[in-house]
Amino acid sequence: MSGKRVLVTGGAGYLGSHVVRMLKDVCDVTVYDNLLYTNEYLEDVSFINGDVTNSLLLKIALARADVVIWLAAIVGDAPCMVNPARAIATNQEAVRTLARFDGPIIFTSSCSVYGNYLGLAREDTQIHPLSLYAETKASAEEYLRDKNALILRMGTLHGTSRRMRFDLVVNTLTKKAVMDGTIQVFGGRQYRPLLAVQDAAEFIAVKALGSWKSGIYNLASENLSILEVARKVKDYLPSTHIIVLDSAYEDNRNYQADFSRAQDILGYHPGRSAKDSIADIAALVSSRRIKDLSDIRYANLMALQKGT
């Protein structure tokens, strides 16, 4: 893909910031982002400040691209419910415009489309979205199913990034353990497929673009229950006190993903685990490099609530 014009929507985001840094020296990268969670974008690449719901601006950007990496989204169940119309427009309807693009597309979907599933969910498993977020991702997949698109159903991300997030399960439990010494787990038996943000970015920027294949693939590195994540945090920070609450949690998702197809066909081999990210997040929080860990920019839901 050397020399190709690559359009990265959501390139200023949690995953996008990693992807862009990996691509900018080998491709002609343009980032398209509305800077929803930050006030500036200083990466040395071409930049379009815009929302993907602006179909006219998006069409102009698509016309100048050879490849599209689509990361733009309102991510998460609760953030989507802040403004459902906006979530549908961003996550779903904007993809109708993307579907008119004839070149290769990498589209980040979510394993949350499986909803509540016993066993390992494979790509041919019947999806059962339980939230608006999952529904929009499932609909967007349909728009791209007959296109030259690599659709990645990604696990819950974790790890450090220039656009940091502390509202993801591994990140938030680690932050709370460092700051408070105590973490609360609601139920804890619900499973999630997990994926290091660095592994996701490297796969997209290097493996996926370097040896192109289309289709739907699960992308994760391990399946852990929320309680297992908490225990891994305690393993790294032994003084942590875990409080398990039996009260029902509003998030009813419970699923594990089989990512062997990506390994066998795409050559995907994750290099990092939740344990690695716990160490990174603990070091980041302890270093006091972030002035205000509670700033709304580090949590999608709070940032969107303030913007309404």
Q: What is the DSSP string of the chain?
A: -TT-EEEEETTTSTTHHHHHHHHTTTSEEEEEE--TT-S----SSEEEE--TT-HHHHHHHHHT-SEEEE-----SHHHHHHSHHHHHIIIIIHHHHHTT--S-EEEEEEGGGG-EEEEEEPTTSPP---SHHHHHHHHHHHHHTTSSEEEEEE-EEES--SS--S-SHHHHHHHHHHHHSEEEEES---EEEEEEHHHHHHIIIIIIHHS---EEEEE-SEEEEHHHHHHHHHHHSTTPEEEEE-SPPS---EEEE--HHHHHHH-------HHHHHHHHHHHHHTT-SS-TT-GGG-HHHHHHHH-
Whole-number average pLDDT of the chain: 94
Q: What is the pLDDT of residue 250?
A: 54
How much is the average pLDDT of 89-101? 97
How much is the average pLDDT of 106-111? 98
Domains of the chain: 5-157+194-219 (3.40.50.720), 164-192+222-254+273-307 (3.90.25.10)
Residues 6+ apart with CB under 8 A from 93: 53
Assessment of whether the complete model's pTM goes beyond 0.75? yes
* pLDDT per residue as tens digits for the range 22-39: 999 999 999 999 999 998
pLDDT band at 157 (very low <50, low <70, confident <90, very high): very high
